[in-house]
Amino acid sequence: MPVTGGTGGRGRAGARRGPTVPEGGLSPSEVGKEIAQHRSHAEVGEATGRDRTVSIIEAVLLAVVAVLAAWSGYSSAKWGTESRLKLAQASAARVEAASETQQADLNRNFDASTFNAWFTAKVAGNQIEMTVAERRFRPEFRVAFDAWIATDPDTNPHAPPGPTYMSQYVQPELAKAEALNKKADGLTEEGVADGNRSDDYVRTTVYLATVLFLVGISGHFRVTAARYGLVGVGIVILAFAIWQLAILPLPPA
pLDDT (tens digit, 9 = 90+) per residue, 189-214? Answer: 999 999 999 999 999 999 999 998 98
Residue 29 — very low, low, confident or very high, per pLDDT cuts 50/70/90? low
For residues 65 and 9, the model is more confident at: 65
Residue 21 — very low, low, confident or very high, per pLDDT cuts 50/70/90? very low
Give the separation between CA 54 and CA 56, rounded to whole angstroms.
5
The long-range contacts involving 195-199, CB below 8 angstroms and separated by at least 24 positions, are 195/79, 195/80, 195/83, 197/79, 197/83, 197/248, 197/249, 198/24, 198/75, 198/76, 198/77, 198/79, 198/80, 198/83, 199/76
Q: How far is CA 98 from the centre of its chain?
A: 23
Q: What are residue 9's phi and psi, to 5 degrees?
A: -95, 5
Residue 55 — very low, low, confident or very high, per pLDDT cuts 50/70/90? confident
Mean pLDDT of 135-150: 94
pLDDT of residue 12: 38
Phi-psi sector, 151: left (phi>0), alpha (psi -120 to 50), beta: alpha
Q: Which helix (H) or strand (E) holds 78?
A: helix 52-124
Q: Residues in the chain, how many?
A: 253
Choice among 13-22, 81-90, 179-188 with the minimum mean pLDDT: 13-22
Q: What are residue 34's phi and psi, to 5 degrees?
A: -65, -40
Closest C-alpha among 112, 152, 151, 161 to residue 133: 112
For residues 220 and 15, the model is more confident at: 220
Helix, strand, coil proportions of the chain in percent (round to 5)? 75, 0, 25
Give the separation between CA 236 and CA 246, rounded to whole angstroms.
15
CB 39 within 8 A of CB 1: no
CB 62 within 8 A of CB 219: no
Question: According to the per-residue pLDDT averaged within each range, which of 140-154, 204-218, 222-236 is highest?
Answer: 140-154
